Structure 1
Amino acid sequence: MPLPSQPTGERRPRAMVIDGAWRALGSGLESLSGPGGAPLTRTVKLILLPLIVRPALHPDLAADFLAPEPAARLDALLRESGARLVATAQWFTLLKRTRRALGIVAGHPQDLYFQRCFELAAEHGEPGPTAGSLARAVVEDVADADGGRTVDALKRHLADAAQYARLERELAFAWDGRASTPGGDTAVAVTLAGKVLEACGGAEGPRDSPAYASMVAAAHGGLLGRALWAQAGGVWGRADLPAHLGLTERMLPPRPQVGRGASTATLPAPLDRTLFERLFVVLQSSSRREELPTVPELVGREVGRSCAPLGLFDESLRVAVVLGGRLAVGLDPLGIEVPAPGLTSAHRTVNSRWRREASVLRARRMTVSPRPDPDGGALDALAQDLRTPWTAYMRRLWVRLHGRDVRDAGLADAGAAWAVLDGVARSVMMDHRARVRAALRSLSVGSAGSPTAPDLARAAESRSA
């Protein structure tokens, strides 16, 4: 069912306008849509916004909330593109089939092919008699463009026994070399992080923060990383939280291993990952692998990076971990008074956004109710995740920062750092929302006729603007 528009005055959320127009296009878009019929996040990000809406050319369509006239124009733009979008979906299905036939597994198909499929639809319409050869040419062209920067290339590089043994020796040497690095008190770093978050989280947007530059110059990120090696406690002002906030499952981060394989379903915590697992994520998630170093360069640099404080080279990215930790310990989506000292405007911004989520409102009722979960525990487990939001937040933040580190993309100022911190918070929130909806769909299918299932589904589908 379509998401309600939740108007603010006469304005409507742009996401709701897109959702309504998309559903009105009817069938034929299944490969570009989620299970509920809405456009996939990547469909919006890679096709609808940049190729159809084009906010850079239409600034009045760039806002999160649209007045009636821009909303009507956006709706019309998407409806007018219906035939091309259906053709795009058909090309995407064909390219995926061709990819499987060629045995190509590297990269995410949506990242790699969505925009190419839209181009094919614009040039050729729906797939015709020559579509097979065109699809093969596109898939092979995309595969060649990465310059061998693939998971398969990584496997081949590490398959040589002598190479593998050499890397293990280098890791052991780099790890043992940490002992000569001095530690220090993290209290100043945490205090400065609070000042940065206060400057960044206001309603008027991030302000320049001299504290951020001070943290980078004084290497406060590296300080936290060395504290984790020394089993520091009480870093965040809360005795109940480990200093690493879930970045490792151990008391102390272990010495990295080389590794030979990885699976997205079983990836360990970031600081527990092997070299292979760290680079597997980078290679799998990158839509522009041609911008990455070659596989031998990636592996060589990852040896030093994995043994560096927080598993990162760039100090501005390490400082972002400190900022993220300071934000994470004050995350309280359930509104149950987390005992975090000195909540900042950034905390208030993120927490208030999270608490408006319908799935969070239900989770809060479940966690404070003395009655057992009537839905068999599926939703109760998701509700309990909201009691420890820092783990999901810190793990996703680290992965994002690691990807930037591999590309030598530091964070120049507090505004750039806040864009990453806030983006991760939104991503974690939306992921939790998606998992709640998936659980509700499963419960609805499994308990047809139950009076609670439709009510739960409606609650998850609705959300505040």
Structure 2
Amino acid sequence: MPPQSRPTGERRPRAMVIDRAWRGLGPGLEPLSGPGGAPLTRTVKLIVLPLVVRPVLRPELAADFLDPEDAAHLETLIRGSGERLDATARWFTLLKKTRRALGIVAGNPQDLYFQRCFELATEHGAPSAGAEAVARAALEEVADAAGGRTVETLKDHLADAARRSRLDAEIATVWGNRRPSPAGAASVALAAEVLEACGAPGPGKDPQAFTSMVEGAHGSLLGRALWAHAGGVWGRDDLPGHLGLTAHQLPPRPEVGRSASTATLPAPLDRTLFERLFTVLQSSAHRDELPMVPELVRREVGRSCAPLGLYDESLRVAVVLGGRLAVGLDPLGGGGESAPGRTAAHRAVNGRWQREASVLRARRMTVSPRPDPEGGVLDALAEDLRTPWAAYMRRLWVRLHGRDVRDAPLDDLASAWAVLDGVARSVMMDHRARVRSALRALSAPGPGQASEARSA
């Protein structure tokens, strides 16, 4: 059994250790924290882990569960960085204020400035005399580093009518040259072997199974099967072959597009060129690895018409593996660990999800026949639990697309499993947060109840 899946005993979840140590730092960290006082996800991802904990240098702190000694070490590191983190929060507030004054709107400020603010805190301490000039210089430096790779640049590039017409004609030509194929079920069958090796590597497992799928172009086979409307490829007739990657029976021909909204993005294979690149350019984590916008757009024409909307075969295979994993997700445990078709990967992911003790009660509520008499948020959460594969596949595709745009293939079984498992954890944590938020809202007294409580 992998170390991450063993009973914890005295071991503590690393996320819990970070949360407790962060809250112990006291006030002043609000710009880096959520409403409840916990560090933002981006704070953990961009600041705490890479810059404070530094698990690359301290591999004993890289695990999801920590022994008491390692947990104490982690808390010490965070407490020892309290003053620097406080200064980081102040720099972030100043950079956002300066950003507004300069009229900068492109990019997510947290993605763009969190790590730069930590560097400023390390170099200068908290902002003091002359800090405004330093903040302005930092903003200009970040803008220069992202030059030619912003959403605004993309808008300007696709605003030209002649260019849009030319791109649309290119898409039509490439799309018309596709080669649909009904073959796809064999690729899904092979995925079970790889997932068995992913979830429980060791004697008798074949780490070459992933390489064999890539060399056999099994990702492309599934992508072409979706163009031909192949059904039943996942072993369940109640699931569409595309697993929600499109809202249509067959993926539609891509359009060029001119705008996008995070709140209304369509299913991955239904997105325009603009929407596909919008999600990549919004995050600056790997911006310096991207081509300039004209080259990005040129490449995306072919990619949008490729099997599964991806160029690299290892990433297409990851979609097959993710689909095979997704159709066996069982957050409530109703299917049983020995259900037909389950692999070691399923047992690892489902076991982790089913151990979410803090939300077990909420889950029971969401699957009652009518959890919310008026309909609403609990009904939506219940539907998420009934179809966990939908959120998983959407998030997996976005992550793989980002790698494809950056020319970052998956080199081996270990890197593939890291992505598949990471997406599963992300979906689980997102659902946990939504359940807790819903329960807090439902338990809050209404206006009438509040008045009664005050008068009592």
So what's the TM-score if we normalise by structure 1? 0.90
| Distance of 2:415 and 2:320 partners within structure 1 | 15
Q: Distance in 1 between matches of 2:163 and 2:107?
A: 25
**Counterpart-to-counterpart distance in 2, 1:445 and 1:121:** 39
Q: Map 1:17-416 onto structure 2 (within 5 A).
A: 17-178=17-178, 181=179, 183-202=181-200, 208-337=206-335, 341-358=340-357, 360-370=359-369, 372-373=371-372, 377-416=376-415
Alignment deviations for residues 250-276 of structure 1 (CA, whole Å, 9 cap, x no partner): 111100000000010000000000000
| Aligned position for 1:461 | none
* Cα separation, partners in 2 of 1:150 and 1:337, compared to 1, 3 Å: same
Kindly tell me: are residues 22 and 182 of structure 1, through their superposed partners in 2, closer, same or farther at Cα, counting changes over 3 Å? closer
Aligned-residue offset at 1:337: 2.1
Alpha-carbon distance change, 376 to 90 in structure 1, aligned in 2, over 3 angstroms: farther
CA drift of 1:371 comes to: 5.4
Distance 1:368-1:29 versus aligned 2 partners, 3 A rule? closer
What fraction of aligned residue pairs are identical, expressed as a percent?
75
Whole-Å Cα distance in 1 between the matches of residues 90 and 175 of structure 2? 51
SS, match of residue 265 in structure 1: helix
Give the match's secondary structure for 1:336.
coil
Q: Which amino acid aligns with 2:88?
A: T
Q: In the alignment, which residue of structure 1 is the partner of 2:4?
A: none
Aligned to 2:454: none
Compare 64-73 and 252-261 and name the one that shifted more: 64-73
Question: Which residue matches 1:454?
Answer: none
The residue matched to 2:263 in structure 1 has which SS? coil
Distance 1:438 1:87 in 2: 30
**Deviation of the 1:324 alpha carbon:** 0.8
Q: Secondary structure at the match of 1:232?
A: coil
Asked whether the 8 Å contact 2:14–2:64 carries over to 1, the reply is yes
Deviation at residue 449 of structure 1 after TM alignment: 10
Contact 2:362 2:439 in 1 (8 A): no
Q: Distance in 1 between matches of 2:79 and 2:449?
A: 37
Q: 2:453 — aligned with what?
A: none
What letter corresponds to residue 53 of structure 2 in structure 1? V
Contact 2:112 2:284 in 1 (8 A): no
**CA 1:361–1:375: 2 relative to 1, 3 Å:** farther
Distance 1:21 1:450 in 2: 36
Distance 1:308 1:318 in 2: 10
Report how far residue 213 of structure 1 moved: 1.9
Shift of 1:11: 2.8
Q: Distance in 2 between matches of 1:205 and 1:148?
A: 49
After the TM superposition, which of the residue ranges 263-272 and 89-98 deviates more from structure 2? 89-98
Change (3 A) 1:207 1:294: farther
1:218 and 1:256 map into 2 onto residues whose CA distance is 27
- Contact 1:333–1:386 (8 Å) recurs in 2: yes
Supply the distance in 2 between the matched residues of 1:146 and 1:206 (Cα, whole angstroms).
Answer: 47
Whichever residue aligns with residue 425 of structure 2, its letter is R
**C-alpha distance 33-448 of structure 1, shift in aligned 2 (>3 A):** farther
Deviations 1:145-185 (A, max 9, x none): 0121100000111111110100011111111111xx25242
CA RMSD, aligned part only? 2.4
3-state secondary structure, aligned to 2:177: helix
Output the amino acid matched with 2:15.
Answer: A
- 1:310 & 1:428 partners in 2: Cα distance? 21
Displacement of 1:102: 1.9
Range 130-139 or range 106-115, more displaced: 106-115
Deviation of the 1:368 alpha carbon: 4.6
- Name which of structure 1's ranges 263-272 and 277-286 shifts more when overlaid on structure 2: 277-286
CA distance in 1, matches of 2:321, 2:81: 43
TM-score, length of structure 2 as denominator length: 0.91
Residue type at the aligned position of 2:34: G
Structure 1 residue 435 displacement after superposition? 1.5
Query: Contact 1:200–1:206 (CA<8 Å) still a contact in 2?
Result: no
Report deviation, 1:374. 6.2
Q: Displacement of 1:320 after TM fit?
A: 0.8
Q: 5+ unaligned residues in a row in structure 2: which ranges?
A: 1-6, 451-456
For structure 1, the 5+ residue unaligned runs are 1-6, 452-465
Q: How many Å apart are 1:206 and its aligned residue? A: 12
**TM-aligned CA deviation for residue 376 of structure 1:** 6.0
